[in-house]
Amino acid sequence: MTEFNRKIVLASRPAGRPRLTDFRLEQAEMPEPTDDQVLLETIYLSLDPYMRGRMSEAKSYAEPIAIGGVMVGATVAKIKQSRHPDWKEGDIVVAYSGWQSHAVSDGSDLRAVDPAVAPISTGLGVLGMTGFTAYAGLHNIGCPKAGETVVVAAASGAVGSVVGQIAKIAGARAVGIAGGAEKCAFVKAALGFDAVVDHRAPDFVERLAEACPDGIDVYFENVGGHVWDAVLPLLNDFARVPLCGMISHYNDDALAKRSVDRLPVTMRDIQQKSITVRGFMNVEFIEQQQNFLKAAAGWIADGTLKWREDIVDGLQNAPAAFIGLLEGRNFGKLVVRISPKQ
Amino acid sequence: MTEFNRKIVLASRPAGRPRLTDFRLEQAEMPEPTDDQVLLETIYLSLDPYMRGRMSEAKSYAEPIAIGGVMVGATVAKIKQSRHPDWKEGDIVVAYSGWQSHAVSDGSDLRAVDPAVAPISTGLGVLGMTGFTAYAGLHNIGCPKAGETVVVAAASGAVGSVVGQIAKIAGARAVGIAGGAEKCAFVKAALGFDAVVDHRAPDFVERLAEACPDGIDVYFENVGGHVWDAVLPLLNDFARVPLCGMISHYNDDALAKRSVDRLPVTMRDIQQKSITVRGFMNVEFIEQQQNFLKAAAGWIADGTLKWREDIVDGLQNAPAAFIGLLEGRNFGKLVVRISPKQ
């Protein structure tokens, strides 16, 4: 039986919320590794909000995906065939091979995964990009001190769940914001945050204030929108805001139509309270990744660091899962299992 | 002849743009210094945009001025009578004695002025709060490197004029933004900025882009509004934005009514370009003030650092001058001469 490469390509650029028809499943010939390359068989594909940006033509920190191009993304893969001196058949790696069942790599994007530390899918989450993003933003920008209050948006998510837990390891008080009772219960009971507030509650603003009686020293921003509006008045003098994402706006196509412009109030508060707002991407701090992986492996071994994955089966289901991610319908790090044989 | 203390008090809280009737000139008894106090005779009063904030009841970093209370402000004053061991009659000081002809002080707000270095009015400007604000924000937050592009809003103003000049001393390229041909000519010819752009020009956005062919590495924000909108797309990755003021919004009474909300676009750019936006006030860096004064005195002595003052005569004219300041009608550091005998 001839084996094919199955891949999902960008069929059209979404206007606002992506639709299933913006993606297309294709079958292509199996790629062949040349000298110094490996053939990867994808086991897990990571789905992450940043991918929405790559689907647009708008100028961004990275090139847009071409129409007809394979959707980008991190994967956990098995080396199926190796013509590269550093890798051997059967090795498990994290790669950046995208929404497809197979790919070739020259090794430059590969990082070995040790299956003894934790399930290999965590190479895409708590022991991968999202875990490291949490660590890099919190320690380089948030800089929480013992006793300070750290508020985390999207606290049940892949990044937020790690932010709150390592804030507690640093001696800070962790307050999570999540959507819905089930996620809130998980953040408090399973992850051990000190408090959690449901941003869908009608009295969200008051509840957040109650949960932060000493104000907010660090706000780890993943969301934007009405969550930012509730956080802003509670920020203390000299508060730090690592700005990691704005998922509530990723489907905005242009300037949001509203009756008010919230920018002047935000800038006024930043000025008057000597607040730092700092955008970042984890690559800027990549030289800290090994330190993070070592520390995180220790926290996982002793039970300090917990995680939750939301695993969807089958490459063909990735588009629907991704659309759900942008609407907060996943619960934990969203991963697609591509190869059911593992 | 009995001498009185003349003072300007807050008559009512302005709604939006202050009006002359929001101020009232009063005559009061001459204050009497007790032991360890001095009597100050005001020579110059500084007018600064931050005073607009103190006139409002809104929560701010400082208490609002009470209705009927003397308007706050920095002054250059002569010690008219001293019962304080550290000060003698005739000493010239910078004080924080407000919009009045006389005041008593326990000495805690006083700083000696050396008339040999520069005209004493500069103790309120280039050698005072505004000069130090420029220095503190640029060196602690902007951190310009040689060859980088530093853009300065309100470049002919008290703070902006110093920012651009010390950016050039640091080896950076200084691009000013000012309102009107006369101010622009001053910024370029007298202050020596590398380029200047008129924010009132119909093609302001295009001209700013032309003046910054390598993008913007540091933007010193004093203004907000449409100037920020033009700057944002030009900011480079890892740009730094010392947020010193937002004069275009100080007369806003509530959330500005607009058809679009500019906050999401600003936050998206901050995130995607790893930008730092940092509000500040000079007091945070006050331990650097002596270093600044020493350096600035040297730059003044060798002609590197220039300044311009807009001097208005008479305490009774302070309210109109202040209203003009909020509309950009001053040209240089705005100072009111209170005592004509100097």
* B3-58 residue pLDDT tens: 899 999 999 999 889 999 999 999 999 999 999 999 999 999 999 989 998 999 87
Which residues in chain B belong to E strands, given as ranges?
4-10, 23-29, 38-46, 75-82, 92-95, 102-105, 111-112, 149-152, 173-178, 195-198, 216-220, 235-243, 256-257, 260-261, 276-279, 309-313, 333-337
Total-model pTM: 0.89
pLDDT for position B245: 84
Query: B270, A243: Cβ pair inside 8 Å?
Result: yes
Which two three-digit tokens encode residue B289?
């003030």
* B86-133 residue pLDDT tens: 999 999 999 999 999 999 999 999 999 999 999 999 999 999 999 999
Query: A262, B263: Cβ pair inside 8 Å?
Result: yes
* B246-258 residue pLDDT tens: 777 666 654 555 5
B325 in helix, strand or coil?
helix
Which two three-digit tokens encode residue B84?
């304080």
Fold classification of B4-125+307-337 (topology level): Quinone Oxidoreductase; Chain A, domain 1 (3.90.180)
* A61-75 residue pLDDT tens: 678 999 999 999 999
Considering only CB atoms, which chain B residues are within 8 Å of A274?
278-281, 284
Mean pLDDT in each 10-residue stretch from start to end of chain A (342 residues)?
88 94 97 96 96 84 90 97 97 97 96 94 95 97 98 94 97 97 96 97 97 98 91 98 83 59 91 96 95 95 94 97 92 92 56
Query: B272, A53: Cβ pair inside 8 Å?
Result: yes
* B134-183 residue pLDDT tens: 999 999 999 999 999 999 999 999 999 999 999 999 999 999 999 999 99
Tell whether B54 is within 8 A of chain A (Cβ).
no
Q: Summarize the confidence of residues B286-306 as an average pLDDT.
A: 95
Phi/psi of residue A72, each to 5°? -80, 160
DSSP letter (8 states) at residue B84: S
pLDDT for position B256: 52
Which two three-digit tokens encode residue A23?
């993606």
Query: A267, B237: Cβ pair inside 8 Å?
Result: no
Tell whether B49 is within 8 A of chain A (Cβ).
no
Residue A313 makes CB contacts below 8 A (sequence gap 6+) with: A336, A337, A340
Which two three-digit tokens encode residue A138?
């919190």
Can you list the alpha helix ranges (DSSP code H) found in B94-212?
A: 129-137, 160-169, 181-185, 204-211
pLDDT for position B297: 94
Percent of chain A with pLDDT over 90: 86
Query: A272, B279: Cβ pair inside 8 Å?
Result: yes
Query: A278, B263: Cβ pair inside 8 Å?
Result: no
Tell whether B143 is within 8 A of chain A (Cβ).
no
Q: Look at the block and give the residue holding tokens 């970042």.
A: A280
Query: B279, A274: Cβ pair inside 8 Å?
Result: yes
Tell whether B226 is within 8 A of chain A (Cβ).
no
pLDDT for position A198: 97
Residue B338 has pLDDT above 60, yes or no: yes
What is the interface pTM, i.e. ipTM, of the complex? Answer: 0.88
Considering only CB atoms, which chain B residues are within 8 Å of A60?
272
pLDDT for position A74: 97
Considering only CB atoms, which chain B residues are within 8 Å of A221?
267
Tell whether B209 is within 8 A of chain A (Cβ).
no
Beta carbon pairs, A and B, within 8 Å: 129
User: What DSSP assignment string belongs to B6-25?
Assistant: EEEEE-S--SSS--GGGEEE
Residue B224 pLDDT class (50, 70, 90 cuts): confident
Comparing CA positions, the residue from A301, A239, A247 lying closest to residue A269 is A239
pLDDT for position A3: 85
Considering only CB atoms, which chain A residues are within 8 Å of B270?
243, 277-279
Residue B237 makes CB contacts below 8 A (sequence gap 6+) with: A61, B273, B274, B275
- CATH architecture entry for A129-283: 3-Layer(aba) Sandwich (3.40)
B57 in helix, strand or coil?
coil
Residue B314 has pLDDT above 80, yes or no: yes
Which of A249, A260, A280 is closest, CB to CB, to B257? A260
Comparing CA positions, the residue from B337, B329, B320 lying closest to residue B45 is B337
Query: A267, B228: Cβ pair inside 8 Å?
Result: yes
Percent of chain B with pLDDT over 90: 86
Tell whether A63 is within 8 A of chain B (Cβ).
no
Among chain B residues, the shortest Cα distance to A255 is held by: B260
Query: A249, B268: Cβ pair inside 8 Å?
Result: yes
Tell whether B267 is within 8 A of chain A (Cβ).
yes
Mutate to test the interface with A, among B232, B244, B248, B277 (most CBs of A within 10 A): B277
Domain-wise residue ranges, chain A: 4-125+307-337, 129-283
Query: B277, A280: Cβ pair inside 8 Å?
Result: no
